[in-house]
Amino acid sequence: MKKLVSLLLVLTLVFSLTACGGDKGTTDATTAAGNDATTAAETTTEVQVEKPAKITITCDGTVVKEDDNAQAFYDELEALLGIDLEFERPDHSGYKDYIGTLFGAGAGSLPDVVLLSADAYATYASLGYLWDMTDAWDNSEVKNSGRVSQMGLDLFEGSKVVGPDGEYRLYGFSAVQGNGCVTYIKQSWLDAAGVEKLPTTYAEYYDMLTKMKEAKNAEYVVSAAGLVGGEAPYINYLPEFYQDAYPEFYEKDGVWVDGFAEDAMKDALQRLQDAYTAGIIDPEIVNRSTSNCRDLFYEDKFGVFTYWAGKWCNTLTQNIVKKALYEGSDKEVLVSLPPIAEVGTYLNRIAPQWCITVDCENPEGVFEYYLQKMLDGRDVQLLWEYGTHYTYENGVFTLTALESNGNTASYNHIDGLLKLGEYASDFNGGKDIGLDVASPAVAQEAQAVFNSASRMAPSIKKTDTMNEYSATIWTVRKSIIADVAMGKMTVEEGMAKYESECGAMSEEILDSLNK
């Protein structure tokens, strides 16, 4: 076990919690004052579970930031739950490294609850550091309340990962769907290119990009934060080019395969190379970050951007208008592209997971009185959704300013567009009182496009062998994708390099996955 723990300290695949999905632009919180429904602290269940007196919690900046008066959120949550809560809030940008060090120290020094990225969740579940909450979820009030949609139930099922016993079980809880990306197209670029009908196939999509490049005399048309993502589902920023390729180990017809070695990946690499050579893809894409891409999009350097569904459509549109960096930006509209035929559906990733560690002395109580209360359909859920940055008076919901930057708040931790549980019918009439304010129509429409045409990303399974080799294999994969796309080697040369440098490791991993 010590050997495995030391290996975790050098893993580069335990990525930040939400990539840019947790980068909420206008962030956070609100106050549940004025509601007179029964509090979570007073709620009882059929099975009496001991209520914990104190819970220690480690989480990142996807919960209201410290400098946005997080203490007010903590205080109100403690009052509602009737539990002493001790929050540890490492810097958001360094959270991945902090988690690696935390678990690297091993059992005996872990908090009761920790928020983990999907990859870290699968890793630490496989190593036996997380509590199996499958039975607790199956018997929970939330699951059996009728307030969780079928999609939500499916997402909980899809969040099961392999534990130390080799069985798929639930080791984490999320109040929201993981979400995914939608391809946004600037209407001004469509108009310039004379494109009146959105593409439905790759041929039509590529033809649209070519016309845009010519009409706008643009250096490139598409950009993204790299040619491949740094965390599952990896391909969500360039779905039209990857299509059915998946550059990671995944389960296919009941057997685990190495997606990078499949013919579909060869085809994807060729599409990337063709588009890069033709000046369709940003020549500096390998050096781009998400924030850098957003800035270039605001400047009108490119017109097609695949980014997070829902609120981000509104945020991107607002920033284009507010920054006014090009003529006509004040009237810019972003069109959400339904997935083209070859893509089929966008990928809904496994959400970051709230996990109970093996150091927790009363895991049943923490699940009962802390985790599932995030979806209680009442005051606690409202607090997690809007925090303490809102007012609700005479039926009027108003978001207030954040202390850190003066911007209007958006949500605390639960994005209303992504929440997995609806409000109770006897709580504000079952209505999400802030949804229309926090998520304008443009955001709701973009989310609807994604929700109507998305599927769960391939499940994640970790084994000792995979934990040992993943970082090395991913270094080679990223190098090959970049070199092939930029024309430094052919597709055949890239695949030969992969077989030469990673073939043996890949076979060992597949053997461990298919046991």
pLDDT in tens, the chain (515 residues): 333 333 333 333 343 333 333 333 333 333 333 333 333 333 434 568 999 999 999 999 999 999 999 999 999 999 999 999 999 999 988 999 999 999 999 999 999 999 999 999 999 999 999 999 999 999 999 999 999 988 899 999 999 999 999 899 999 999 999 999 999 999 999 999 999 999 999 999 999 999 999 999 999 999 999 999 988 899 999 999 999 999 999 999 999 999 999 999 999 999 999 999 999 999 999 999 999 999 999 999 999 999 999 999 999 999 999 999 999 999 999 999 999 999 999 999 999 999 999 999 999 999 999 999 999 999 999 999 999 999 999 999 999 999 999 999 999 999 999 999 999 999 999 999 999 999 999 999 999 999 999 999 998 899 999 989 999 999 999 999 999 999 999 999 999 999 999 999 999 999 999 98
Q: How large is the angle between the packed helices 491-513 and 464-485, nearest 10 degrees?
A: 170
Q: Which two tokens stand for residue 403?
A: 């202390």
Contacts of 246 (CB under 8 A, 6+ apart): 233, 234, 235, 259, 264, 265, 458
> What pLDDT is stored for residue 46 in this prediction?
52
Q: Which two tokens stand for residue 443?
A: 């955001």
Is residue 455 within 8 A of residue 209, CB to CB? The reply is no
Q: Which two tokens stand for residue 276?
A: 């890069």
Q: Which two tokens stand for residue 255?
A: 């057997």
Helix, strand, or coil (residue 68): helix
Of residues 271, 314, 294, the one with CA closest to residue 223: 294
DSSP assignment, residue 408? B
Q: Can you give the three-state secondary structure of 447-488, one letter per residue? A: HHHHHHCEEECCCCCCCHHHHHHHHHHHHHHHHHHHHHHCCC
186 forms beta bridges with 334
> What pLDDT is stored for residue 93 in this prediction?
87
DSSP assignment, residue 370? I
Is residue 247 within 8 A of residue 481, CB to CB? The reply is yes
The Cα–Cα gap between 12 and 513 comes to: 20
Rg (CA), the chain: 23
| Phi and psi at residue 109, to the nearest 5° | -130, 15
The Cα–Cα gap between 293 and 313 comes to: 14
Place of tokens 């391809």: 183
Is residue 418 within 8 A of residue 310, CB to CB? The reply is yes
Question: Within 9-112, where are the H helices?
Answer: 70-81, 95-104
Of residues 325, 23, 372, the one with CA closest to residue 174: 372
